[in-house]
Structure 1
Amino acid sequence: MIGRQGDRQRAYIGSFTAAGGAGILTAAIDADTGAPTVLGAVGTLADPSYLALSADGGTLYAVSETSDGAVAAYRLSGDKLEQAGPPVPVGGAAPTHLAVHAGHVLTANYGSGSVTAVPVRRDGALAPAPSGVLAHTGSGPHPQRQQRPHAHQVLGDPSGRWVLSVDLGTDSVRVCELTEAGEPVLHREVALRPGSGPRHLAFHPRGDRAYVLNELAPTLTICAWDAVEGSLKPLGEAAVLPGPTDGDGEAFPSEVVVAPDGRFLWTATRGQDVISVLALDDAGTRPRLAATVPCGGHWPRDLAIDPSGRFLYAANERSGDVTWFAIDPATGIPRRMGSVEAPAASCVIFG
């Protein structure tokens, strides 16, 4: 997230330390140009691949995407990150994503196919053990990637009541609730097209539409979201690439973000190394592929938009950089502005 320290903006970049990343990078953001300047890094946690800020912006949380997965908390002190206690094991393998929800930090554990809830204390630190782990079940038709569940993302819905977990291995999205004891429990499971491999989901700012980006097919599944019933209903799919992929066919979509005004959404696709621009109609149900542009590097693992909706950032894992773009307000097409070195970059978060 971008967080304000006085009159200055800040961004935080996650990375894979096992691939040469420095850990969690702090960067200053130029409010006029969007340019990030790296101020420093904290390398105390192995593979902090995804980050999230507390609601008050005072605590940063990071997964440790390792075989014995964990989550850690860092207090923000000026431009420094100070670790608030030891990492907490999540009871799941390879957590790839996390979210702050209802007094807990939730992690999506890709390796074990589960979601974990860790209570947050009053001071922002984490309790020493999870309050609950929800194990996913099932599989999909892909012989290598879908032999078992692979929870890839967990996030709260706009109403603040529900938790959604996106599972690449089971071709489904689970809608969950937290009990009073802080245990995640299944409300319903929503099936998507077999073999699509859903990875990440983003909500329309109006809150009644959700867009699920599929990793095993370069498509976007458009869904209606009912926050009263906790119901997700697939409405159709839209292509995020213009026709067949080139070369060896590598095309692995990674992230989807929606404009604050709901007029556009953007996706990143690894292998093809592009950002796709999709224009949204008023209802948000018919995304139209408008353009694709180079991501500015190789293997864009994450894509993020700043709170103003003016700048777009791609975390290019294999080229080791974060590239930023200015967004044309009329067309939604991003124009490359520059890049900053960030070895094994995995995410950029803004507030």
Structure 2
Amino acid sequence: MGNQYWVGAYSPDGGGTSQGIRAIEYRNGSLHDLGLAHPADSPSWITAHPGLPVIYAALEHRGEIAAYRVVSSNKVESLGRPVAAGALLCHLTLDAVGSTLIGSCYGDGRVLAYPIAADGSLGEPHLAVASEDPYAREGHAPRASRSHQSATLRNGRIITTDLGHDSLRVWDLVAGQLVLRQRIILNKGDGPRHLVEHPSGLIYVVTEHSVEIIMLAPSQEGGYEVRSRTALGDAFIPGEHYPSEISLDSRANRLYVGVRGAGSIAVLGIGADGVPLPIGMESCAGDWPRHHVQAGQALIVANQLSNTIVAFGLNAEDGRPDRRLSCLKLESPTCLAAQTLP
């Protein structure tokens, strides 16, 4: 049995050539195109509900979220009308029990929480309190807020990144509303993009502008604090290379980071103290690695600008994706969302 994924992508309204959501399968070392699942305008991020045959797509340039009912391994149908979000909606995630969908908007900094009905459809959202630029000074206009990702932590809280304000915020989800618990201010110009939580409770944040991994650790006060900073490697240059997705190996002992501009995947080990240690880098065999997922002992990479999805075998000793297994031509891929069909 293979691994099935819904592929998000950019259509012409977002500068790409995709027609919408596609379905693919990875099986026995090979990638297979299962066809167009549903037409859509730049469904740049897709997330699947863990308990319902439903997926959600961020229609980025329309600023809307579309819900779809899964009808087969390669087809979905609309579940109600798309709901409004904000400018350049770029990321979606679900809370721990699948009752709330969180949307992040790069264009206007909005973070929204949508209640999910029993059939998977979305209700009216709650708008979280807006971010404030921690480096704004009197007489200087504040920088734009750029919400980029939300993630559900193992303790049930929600954490969000703001690439424009160089900060992260931790929230409690109370009766479907996001209640701010903590703001973590990073260095000016870091540009936190995406993050992943380790089973130990450590959080690894990849920065798009400073090209680092910042490790957050639980603090004595019950929040999180910056514990370390690790450069991705000497080959990566801020302003020329732009990290995208960060993921944790299935064994929780390595990190993988896609680096746009360098056309590569950076691999870092995790030391006994949790601090990342650069292992090396490998070519992604394409241009602009926007997203990636792990499937067993393979890493599947969506190369946005070269219109390819490539599967790599992972080296058994150091985890490097050093064996090209399969390549699939697909228009402007930006996201790979796994789906386990009921």
Asked whether the two chains share a fold, i.e. TM above 0.5, the reply is yes
Paired letter, 1:98: L
Return closer, same or farther for 1:259/1:57 CA change in 2, 3 Å cut-off: farther
Q: 1:15 to 1:230 in 2, by over 3 A?
A: farther
- Aligned match of 2:189 in 195, 200, 221? 195
Which of the numbers 89, 107, 116 marks the counterpart of 1:95? 89
Please name the residue that 2:224 is paired with.
Answer: 232
1:197 counterpart letter in structure 2:
G
Answer yes or no: is the 8 Å Cα contact 2:69–2:78 preserved in 1: yes
RMSD (Å) for aligned C-alpha atoms: 2.0
The number of aligned residues is 327
Cα deviation, 1:184-217, whole Å, max 9, x if unaligned, reads 121110011211100000111x141110000012
Decide which of 61, 71, 76 is 2:65's aligned counterpart: 71
Change (3 A) 1:207 1:82: farther
1:330 positional shift: 1.7
Shift of 1:73: 1.1
**Cα 1:53–1:294, aligned 2, differ >3 Å: closer, same or farther?**
same
> Structure 1 residue 349 and structure 2 residue 341: aligned?
no
1:76–1:254 CA distance, 2 compared to 1 (3 A)? same
**For 1:165, what is the secondary structure of its paired residue?**
strand
Of the three residues 203, 206, 221, the one matched with 1:210 is 203
**Does structure 2 retain, via aligned residues, the 8 Å contact 1:203–1:210?**
yes
Query: How big is each residue's C-alpha offset from its partner over 1:81-125, in whole Å with a ceiling of 9 and x where there is no partner?
Result: 1111111112x2111110011411110111111211111110112
1:260 aligned counterpart, secondary structure = coil
Structure 1 ranges of 4+ moved more than 3 A: 131-134, 243-246
Q: Which residue number corresponds to residue 178 of structure 2?
A: 184
Q: How far 1:230 moved relative to its partner?
A: 5.3
Choose from 270, 278, 299 the match for 1:289.
278
Asked if structure 1 preserves the Cα contact closer than 8 Å seen for 2:102 and 2:111, the reply is yes
Cα distance between partner residues in 2 of 1:229 and 1:107:
28
8 Å contact from structure 2 (residues 170, 182) kept in 1: yes
Structure 2, unaligned runs of 5 or more: 137-141
Is 1:303 the counterpart of 2:292 in the alignment?
yes
Counterparts of 1:71 and 1:225 in 2: how far apart (Å)? 33
Instruction: Tell me if 1:326 matches 2:313.
Output: yes
Q: Is the 8 A contact 1:275 1:294 kept in 2?
A: yes
Counterparts of residues 1-351 of structure 1 (less than 5 Å): 7-18=1-12, 19-30=16-27, 32-33=28-29, 35-56=30-51, 58-66=53-61, 68-79=62-73, 80-90=75-85, 92-101=86-95, 102=97, 103-127=99-123, 129-138=124-133, 147-159=143-155, 161-180=156-175, 182-204=176-198, 206-225=199-218, 231-243=223-235, 245=237, 250-284=240-274, 286-306=275-295, 308=296, 310-334=297-321, 335-350=323-338
Paired with 1:207 and 1:40, the residues of 2 have a C-alpha distance of 39
Amino acid paired to 2:287? H
Instruction: Give secondary structure in 1 for the equivalent of 2:287.
Output: coil
Change in 2 beyond 3 A, CA 1:163/1:230: farther
Superposition TM-score, scaled by structure 1 size? 0.88
Contact kept? 1:139, 1:147, Cα under 8 Å: no
